[in-house]
Amino acid sequence: MCGIAGLYYPAIAKPVDPARIVTMTDALAHRGPDGSGVWTAPGVGLGHRRLAIIDLEGGVQPMATPDSQVVVTYNGEIYNFQEVRAELERLGARFQTDSDTEVLLHGWRAWGPDMLDRLNGMFAFALYDAGRRSLFLARDRFGVKPLHYVELSDGAVAFASELKGLLAHPLFRRTPDFRAVEDYLGLGYVPDDASMLAGVKKLPAGHFLLIERGRPVPDPVRWWDIDFSKRATGKVRDLEAELVEHMRAAVRSRMIADVPLGAFLSGGVDSSAVVALMAEASRAAVKTCTIGFDEADHDETSHAQIVADRFATSHNIRTVDSDDFGLIDTLVAAFDEPFADASALPTYRVCQLARETVTVALSGDGADEAMAGYRRYKFFAAEERMRALLPQQFRSSVFGTLGRLYPKADWAPRPFRAKTTLLALAEGGEFAYPKAVGVTGPALRRKLYSLEAIKALNGHSAEQRYVDTMRRAPARDGLDRAQYADIKHWLPGDILTKVDRASMAVSLEAREPLLDYRFVQFAATLPPSLRIRAGQGKWLMKKALEPWLPKEILYRPKMGFVTPVSAWFRKGLAEEAAGLAQSPVLVGTGWFDAKTIARLADDHRAGRAEHGRTLWQLLMLERSLARLFG
């Protein structure tokens, strides 16, 4: 795991100052504390910060072929690199190291961009080919590893793992893009097709960008996509066995490392499954770590201990304060752009804990998106069945009217929020689902914005990307389309950004075996009834894991990392909330209506309304804007 940065001049081969590349990579030192390197040639400069995981002595980067005609700087892991290497050796390639990095050099010469189809891993890399006078940028299938790029005023294309690498370049101009604020408030994160800084782009997951000298910078090219349109057939027990084999292979391939390795263990199904399969594959006790909270309602340590005892892991638990908002500024620095998923706080803490004993930690991320594990999928699937039974005109008229009349009850458990359900049923699924996954809804956002800000948006809406994605999804039904859209937006924008930034901030490599593309693609072929059944998400996965895990783990209600942000804004952060309306950073942008912000804070503190998540968004936005533009 590493940090990469560099410059490429597509129009003319201008000289590149190595010191400029060093400045960019130094901003990413946390991603790679074990070493650094720079390589330059006319018109190009590649930089690298290394967290040594495989071939500790030989995997130094940037890495070049012996003739220096192909050079790569690379962040990530190729889990099947030994298989790809063997294929390349049969084609005549001669390797100088045992590093997975070298596979990219020989793979490029053998297959060009088509080599990506052979790679199973998490990666973002930049490869320069002197013979073709080109720079090739590529990102893994799901966007586990990030890659930002921007065209500078001197004609260079600058790229970096994190935004802070671009910010280190003196020609980078910090101009805010208000559309990204709309996206952030709607979704809770700045999605991969947006940026808080105008001109900055994020290479989309499963895409590459080939820039050739003498030609304009093109649009990225999609090299992989997930397909929900096919359906697996066969007996349930056979599908269970196939699912477990995919999981087993994914876990084992991610246990290859030349440094200490362990796992996050929350006590939920996904991390417990990963630990179970690690224990099966390991001769030594698996190192596991769990974060506990001082409030029982948010604590899962007892369930994690059950799994740790069952598999005799070397288990490490640390209890933290549930009012752990002292990490806010640390997270703002780690994420660069505003990020409102408050579970980033405990994620950071568990990464800190893991780093004390290991350099690589396996996580359970990805299974909820692949196997329909979130509760919202259950509700959405039920709503889709209702939509299929009743004509749109009837639903719009009857449910829409009832929904507008029904009192708002955001405080109630999801099944009892009749207003939300009625309004969702009145709409098509592609319009209702984006609102279900959002944070601050369209109506409240419009109240928050100034008139000038609304005009500046010119109709841009955070939810529209979900609508468009669900409409074009290679899918058979609504559940397929919802999962597809989450894999394209929520997964890279929220879940994977959270884990990447939190782990890299403490120089820890996190690996996600349940995002092995073969496992996810198999899951996408399962009929909806095998993903959700009898109110249970991940039904087939849970059934397949019954020989490994006790039912009290498999079938307990999903908790996840819960942070009490609503309580914070009525207690320790109440003054922070009240101060948002007078914030020179936030209100000084001219984007917001100060009276609306003040009313939100007052109503929330008095218990008249529930605005905790929106206030958290505004607080994180204020801190991020101060850091980016202050």
Q: Which segments of 65-146 are extended strands (E)?
A: 70-78, 121-129, 134-139
CA distance 80 to 179: 40
For 143, left (φ over 0), alpha (ψ -120 to 50), or beta?
left
Has 351 been annotated as catalytic?
no
388: three-class secondary structure by DSSP? helix
Strand blocks (E) in 286-428 = 287-293, 314-320, 360-362
Give yes or no for a contact between 349 and 254, defined as CB atoms under 8 angstroms apart: no
Q: Which two tokens stand for residue 253?
A: 């391939």
Using CA atoms in the order 368, 371, 376, 378, what is the torsion angle rounded to 10 degrees?
Answer: -150
CA 153 from centre of chain: 30
- Among candidate residues 70, 510, 71, 129, the one with its CA nearest the CA of residue 61: 71
Q: Residue 345 and residue 348: Cα distance in Å, rounded?
A: 5
Length of the chain: 630
Angle at 67 between CA 65 and CA 68, to 5 degrees: 65
Q: Which amino acid is at 301?
A: T
Q: Which of 1, 2, 167, 615 is catalytic?
A: 2
Pairing state between β 70-78 and 157-160: unpaired
Closest Cα partner for 565 from 180, 296, 298? Answer: 298
Beta bridge partners of 228: 475
Backbone angle region of 349, left / alpha / beta, with phi > 0 → left and psi within -120 to 50 → alpha? alpha
Q: How many helices (H) and strands (E) does the chain have?
A: 30, 19
Return the number of other C-beta atoms located less than 10 Å from residue 528's C-beta: 20
Instruction: Determine the straight-line distance between the first and last CA of the chain, rounded to whole angstroms.
Output: 31
Q: Identity (one letter) of the amino acid at 70?
A: V
Q: How far apart are CA 612 and CA 147, in angstroms?
A: 32
Structure tokens at 571: 């207690």
> Considering just the CA atoms, what is the radius of gyration of the chain in Å?
24
**Residue given tokens 């259950």 in the structure block:** 378
* The dihedral formed by the CA atoms of 487, 201, 2 and 223, expressed in degrees to the nearest 10: 50
Known catalytic residues? 2
